[in-house]
Structure 1
Amino acid sequence: MTALSRRRLLLAGAGAACALPLAGAGRALAAGPGDPAGTRLLTATDVHVSDYPTVEAVRWIGQALRERSGGRLDIRLYHSGQLGREAEAIDMARFGAIDITRVYSGALNNAFPLTQALCLPYVFDSVEHMRHALDNGVADTVLRGFESRDLVGLAVYDSGARCFYNIKHPIVQPHDLHGLKLRVASSDIFIQLLRLLGANPTPMSLGDTFSGMETHMIDGAENNMRSFHSSRHFEAARFWSQSEHSYAPDILLVSRRTFDSLAPGDRRLLLETARESVAVMRRKWDESEGRARQAVLDYGIQANAVDMPAFREAARPLREAYLHRPELAALYRRIRDLA
């Protein structure tokens, strides 16, 4: 889909949002070729590739909905950024132009402040700590925070440890980042973190990052191992440094317009199925992350450990600045108590 087509879709959704009455305003999508008559077809989008764990989890939701609803509900999934970037997907879901989207929590920080607690550096100690915290009330608290902005939170998908990679040299100490121009998602937290560590943060879409490194417009980026592999960034950046500076998860959202248009039983079915998909996503993640790590090592990537205490200390001022906000401090304390 071209950028012009995406803009037309977004504008069409915005127009529909203004034109339709609030009551019963949910958008019923027409069945496509081969779709059973009377099926409510929900459109879902993800920027990741077809076999990425979050994509496979949403695909599993579609299969489960078909079976459990007797064919009444289904999902048409557009992966690999076919319907645009994450920022566009968030707006399209809010306007009701698409139904379901999976987005990185960092892209939600400004509009949904509770997501900031999940993205701050060194909040989680490990994948196990993150999953334990999410499963014990933290995910539910964050998901409830979406209700005020035309979205409904369906599930929180984890996405591994975010680490630094670059085209120049290993990063062991924070000062090794000084002067490096690194891609970050459009998130104030990550921009501030890189500045604090002495790097030059460059907000850029995931899709533009490879060419940015190839042309030396940027020196590297930060992301999880699975994305490092699936985006083929390892072909440009030969140095991977296991900083684990954030475990910022992904979040699955549905348009409030769509959700309210469903019958009460179908709302419950969608919520329950989405929550069940978390276990599917985690299993797929664990399997594919190990394969991804081995693949990049076999390719010749130089991977190294970092001075973790030094990185934690360097990031502490940023974490403390955000935790002056009572709601974030309370959520942070809950996360740490579950370590």
Structure 2
Amino acid sequence: MSYSTLKRVSLAIAAGMLLSTGPGLSQALELRSADIHPEGYPTVLAVQKMGELIKERSGGRITVKVFSGSALGSEGDSIEQVKLGALSMARVSSAAMHNICEVTRVPSLPFLFTSKEHLHKVLDSDIGEQILKSCEQAGFVGLAWYDSGARSMYSRGKPVRSVADAKGMKIRVQQSDLSVAMIEAIGANATPMPMGEVYTSLKTGLIDAAENNYPSYESGHHYEVAKFFSKTEHTMTPEILLFSKRQWDKLPEADRKIIQDAARESVPYMRKLWAEREDKSLAIVQQAGAQVVEADKASFQAVMKPVYDRFVTTDEMRDLVKRIQAVK
């Protein structure tokens, strides 16, 4: 564990974590949740909504405090704190879990989902539930899936309309081996880094491009330094709401049910906010002069087989891919 992460864990513990609870006890609980996105972002608002439901249904006994805007560090830091039990929850991209719980790689595979509707049908089914449950052996309880939209390329000097345009470019990706491999498959140089470093890296030319959704492109002000947004829509990697298994195992069954039900009921609320935010973000970046261009998706799809061959490595994962592709 890095010194900075250890320091954040210590601060989280000192600030007052989830109160120790055993079966049958009815103590007041404060659940602490982390998110790298800023206040007002759909994922932050969804967890706050979840907190309202929990507080109401527990008679005010259980509350949720959300630390937004990377206040407790990167997604990697948050995951580590949740595993240790220093945090109750974290909303992270499922890409951040790829090397911890390999089955989470499946919904991040390029061009796996054909539409937002297809994505929702899969995540709301037993397929989505199976992937969430797979995280338990790593020390996490998967509570719910949130939207993250379609990820596309945005760049500084020129638009990325095809694989040929991307060759040789330095492109920021999430800190995930699968994300790195996808960028390398198109002949570009993958540069993993935390979200908080992307703006400066684009501005200084450390990277030529990044890939993300409209709201992140807008809320991170990346459109100010990368004017070309190319609609590659290469992945629809969903977000995942994780709970510390260490803390979960100490909770009475009644409290677990309150938390789990509230998490699931926050999903349609989050999806509504997400759709509204995508429209709003698109309008903001276009008004600011960003150019949204169509991309030749077929040229990207054509080079993705090696990514599937490398990362779909077990019978369970191969079965999940087939089942997802069969959902209509």
Same fold (TM over 0.5): yes
Deviations 1:128-185 (A, max 9, x none): 1101111122210111101112211100112100000010111111111011111111
1:299 aligned partner, one-letter code: A
| Contact 1:151-1:253 at 8 Å conserved across structures | yes
Name the counterpart of 1:55.
44
Contact 2:36 2:69 in 1 (8 A): yes
2:227, 2:291 within 8 Å by CA — same for their partners in 1? Answer: yes
Q: Equivalent of 2:310, from 298, 321, 324?
A: 321
SS of structure 2 residue aligned to 1:286: helix
Please tell me the residue identity of whatever aligns with 2:6.
Answer: R
Cα deviation for residue 257 of structure 1 reads 1.5
Instruction: Decide whether the 8 Å contact of 2:18 with 2:32 is kept in 1.
Output: no
Q: Describe the SS at the equivalent of 1:148.
A: helix
1:188 aligns with one of 177, 183, 207: 177
Name the structure 2 match of 1:95: 84
Structure 2's unaligned 5+ residue stretches are: none
Equivalents in 2 of 1:317, 1:163: separation in Å?
A: 20
Distance 1:277 1:171 in 2: 36
Shift of residue 323, structure 1, vs aligned partner? 3.1
Which residue of structure 2 lines up, in the alignment, with residue 7 of structure 1? 6
Distance in 2, matches of 1:197 and 1:254, equals 35
- State the alpha-carbon separation in 1 of the partners of residues 254 and 115 from structure 2: 37
Cα contact 1:105–1:250 (8 A) shared by 2: yes
TM-score by length of 2: 0.93
Structure 1, unmatched stretches of 5+, are 15-25, 31-36
CA spacing shift, 1:298–1:27, aligned 2, 3 Å: closer
Structure 1 SS opposite 2:302: helix
The verdict on how the C-alpha distance between 1:29 and 1:74 changes in structure 2, with shifts beyond 3 A counting, is: farther
Residues 337/250 of structure 1: CA separation in 2 closer, same or farther (3 Å cut): same
Alignment check: 8 A CA contact 1:101 1:254 kept? yes
Alignment of 1:191-206 (within 5 A): 191-206=180-195
Q: Percent identity?
A: 35
What is the deviation of 1:13?
A: 7.7
8 Å CA contact 2:18–2:30 kept in 1: the answer is: no
Matching residue of 1:148? 137
Match of 2:296 in 1: 307
State the one-letter code of the partner of 2:206.
M
**Amino acid of the structure 2 residue aligned with 1:8:** K
Instruction: Provide the secondary structure at the position in 1 that maps to 2:285.
Output: helix
Matched, 1:73 2:62: yes
* 1: CA distance, partners of 2:32 / 2:124: 27
Distance in 1 (alpha carbons) for counterparts of 2:151 and 2:91: 18
* Counterpart residue number, 1:240: 229
Following the alignment from structure 1 to structure 2, what is the Cα–Cα distance between the partners of residues 323 and 67? Answer: 42
- TM-score normalised by structure 1 residue count: 0.90
The residue identity in structure 2 corresponding to 1:129 is: H
Q: Moved runs in structure 1, 4+ residues, more than 6 A?
A: none
Contact 1:27 1:257 in 2 (8 A): no
Please give the root-mean-square deviation of Cα atoms over the aligned residues, in Å. Answer: 2.1
1:39 maps onto 2:28 in alignment: yes
> Hey, what's the Cα distance between the residues in 1 that align with 2:210 and 2:154?
6
Give the equivalent residue in structure 1 for 2:163: 174
